[in-house]
Amino acid sequence: MTRLVSLGVILGLIAVFGLLSLRVMSSFLLPLLLAAMLVVVFGPLHRWLRDRLLAPEWVTAGLTTLFVLLIVLVPLFLLVARAGGEAVAMLRAPDGLKLDANVLGGLVETVNNATGLHVTAEAVNAELRRLAEDWIGPIAARTPVVIVKLVIGLVVMTVALFYFLADGRRMLAAVTRLIPLDVRYQWQLLEEFEEVSRAVVSSTLLAALVQAMLAGIGFSVAGLKGVFLLTLLTFFGALVPFVGAAAVWGTASLYLLFFVKDTWTAAGLAAWGACVVSTVDNVIKPIVLHGQSKLHPLLALLSVLGGVGALGPIGIFVGPIAVAFLQAALTMLQTELDHLSGGNGPVAAGDAASATAVAQTPAGRVKSS
């Protein structure tokens, strides 16, 4: 009885301090998840360096982390800096937030005739600039806070990436001892996480890159200014389902229609965006997710869309992982039910085959090393 009471107290302490720790670490969950996915993506490079250099673990982990920073964060920073420069130059230009009076004149005259007002193109441009400044002002005021949070997130992600690479094997060994689940099943879940993480990252980035390139072609053909800025905005927008590239090419189409008064160009850009740019996202993601993981294409698509709807942007990663874990858990349940029903011989043989397969996976190699 005393041991049962002690066990109950321990479980209560774990529940209380587990929830408290989750609350404390909640703001760092996304950087930690991104670091874990980077470990999955660049794990083969780390193992290659470790086998070739025969250096201490922290040295190869540091080299891999430095490589990730150089090929991922530095180019991303340069692209954002160039796009930001174009945006600032556009805002500072005398006609940056000013519509052509000749183009605007016809629309203003139509409105005046229909309503009896006496609006001028100059007044519309002044109001447009005022509204833009009122809208940009609060964003600019929050920019320092956003930058600080972004820098903190990048630092946490970088440090976590280093320690996941340097101490990953010891961390996994400690976790496997604490989880009351058959070790074979734990490694099976880890294998699912590795496969789905790599598939999610590659499918999301590939779909966003293809959408941005196709949208950039449309912006260039339509004769819009700031094609690079619009293309980069499309890339970042395409990373978020429901918002997607349509937020950029749709706005550009409306601008061409109502202000440039080029109906055919606006219609062409809208058709290109709807039929090609936004459609290719629903083709690339399911194909890549299905090809690199065990998820059915329909489940792959629904897991991404449903994950974003339920959890926000982080649902892009969590949704497919959750569905893959559920699929793996159901397979484990079926194995255990078959075992309990009396099929000890085939299941035992299947368990041995499964253990051999797990040992041959990257996770199994980490465990065996």
Q: Give pLDDT tens digits along the chain (369 positions).
A: 677 788 788 888 888 888 888 787 777 877 888 888 888 888 888 888 888 887 788 888 889 899 888 877 777 777 666 666 666 665 555 555 555 555 555 666 666 666 666 666 666 666 666 666 566 555 555 666 767 777 888 888 889 989 888 888 888 777 778 777 777 888 888 888 778 877 887 888 888 889 999 999 999 998 887 788 788 888 887 877 666 788 888 888 887 877 677 788 888 989 998 898 888 887 888 788 777 667 777 777 787 778 777 777 677 777 888 888 888 888 888 888 888 876 544 444 444 444 444 444 444 444 444
Nearest to 259 by CA among 118, 93, 121, 87: 121
Question: How many angstroms separate the first and last alpha carbons of the chain?
Answer: 42
Q: What is the dihedral of CA 321, 290, 354, 41, to 10 degrees?
A: -60
Q: How far apart are CA 32 and CA 88, in angstroms?
A: 33
Q: How far apart are CA 261 and CA 123, in angstroms?
A: 19
Instruction: DSSP letter for 182, please.
Output: -
Taking CA atoms, 104 is separated from 66, 80, 98, 133, 263, in Å, by 52, 32, 10, 20, 15
Q: How far apart are CA 222 and CA 272, in angstroms?
A: 11
Q: How far apart are CA 152 and CA 158, in angstroms?
A: 10
- Encoding tokens for residue 140? 């600019």
Length of the chain as a residue count: 369
Regarding pTM above 0.85, the answer is: no
Q: How far apart are CA 17 and CA 66, in angstroms?
A: 35
Q: Which long-range contacts (CB under 8 A, 24 or more apart) does 265-273 make?
A: 265/222, 265/223, 268/221, 268/222, 269/218, 269/219, 269/222, 272/214, 272/218, 273/215, 273/218, 273/245, 273/246, 273/249
